[in-house]
Structure 1
């Protein structure tokens, strides 16, 4: 019964991440605006929350959703993937916009249950939605109402209520988050996706010959992973929020990539060793593999938070907002987006398995 309740109510309403409790019910979106609203949802989403049947026990909700064009520019199809008794089951719905009425129309069907239809409106100013099950003949005793708000471009928050004969029988609060794919930034053949560099590709590996190797794209929030191999005395850096010119350590910020064990670096300041945010915050030492072996590093940049994991160990956790208070003259630390770069200093440091996964925006 719990699974049936989740599916029936979820499919009947979840797609209205774009509807709205209209302050002006006579105000209609243009067809172009409606297409833009539907296009926003294209992609994969993960939904989590809590279902609350009246008089029953709350339960967790976890559903994966894929949205794709059914007919591009006119309608979208929703696929819901639910784990049912240990097996992944898919259910479908579709949505279109009725320009004459100014409403989104969503239809879905689950198993032997009759098809359900919901109507919703969207307000681009508040980015809030309201949708309700469409009237039927004869009138149905059950009514489903949803209010959904977009948070940034990658998340929606929804409240759902189910009424039977005008009595609340079920509700849920859910959050849907866009799933970002992991993207390879190095194809092992050439420098596609990068610019401004004296780097070469040898045997599928990126080798530094000096200078800054800069991504063509700019990034804001992300998880950046790579493998690196240090030669004796090897020195490089990972520039984040780099504007594309100037010293990456100051116009942006630089995370050190360094052979901590070499005698020439014995007297460095603590913020100059591997993994440190140069001039800003020192990283923990002792987790590099011996020179000549491959290391794996994972860098998470999420709003003001910067975290570095080296070979599975967290060696740096920094809060840029706090660092800005301590070192207000560092211009790069104030940036929250930019290019990523490998900042070479001449040593033939090698790189491979370079990937990025963009994270949801922090904007309200």
Structure 2
């Protein structure tokens, strides 16, 4: 906003401090003046002569003027110094805000001293800067990875077309099949990016949905893939009501189950899908057997284009956005996503969503 320039906060605090000091001094002098008028007779005998009240009042008025002038000067100087000391933390916060406005999120205020209002504000601002820095870094990595992932199928398509053009005797059916596979992967990646953006913007309609039905649908849909890879899917859980977008929550469940199937043991693997109701939340848990995962790797699995221990390029390996989409959909539904490595190998993924408020009849 464009605002007209005005007096600084330091100047206003100085004027307020000096004005309050002047007011207190004036009230004190006025009380003395009233006391003299009420309790001092017109003439008072003192050693060496007679004291006239009017003379005393005249001398007192002159002295009172000098005292008020001194209080004004003292208030202005003292108020300016005190206001500067009090507003010093605010100046540091303002400087940090301007640096953040220019795109720098690496600095921190770190105000020393005991807790007060300014230090609470500075600590909250430091926390916001830390989150912004992490978010910007994640977005930059996402942009770089997305560019790489999108460029790869385009480069492969160009190479296949160049081969088909320079080698007329080459089997065109093989080239067409490979082009079809590459273009399908590019389309899947684009659709995943669009879904990620849609979930992040939270532009969806919330409805009542049963997570247990979504879990059963996902398990039934992905059963052929599980059978092909020798993985058994076990589902359990009672009716689990929630509020959200049925398509997005189904996509979340599908991603978790597919990820559990793909990143599993080479044979005789198992996937457990469970839903349940807690006092304030509803829970969807997908657990699978597999390789042992380190805590360092676990912390990166929800970042875009991460595919576990290696970058897998099989028919159902996905585009590296499965858990990133799950995380975004969970956050869009005000839920929490927890990834826990299993001691025997594999991973346990837990999605907690707010339980719907019970309807009360009238």
TM-score, normalization: structure 2? 0.22
Which structure has the larger Rg over C-alpha atoms? 2
Instruction: Calculate the TM-score normalised by the size of structure 1.
Output: 0.22
Q: Which has the higher strand share?
A: 1
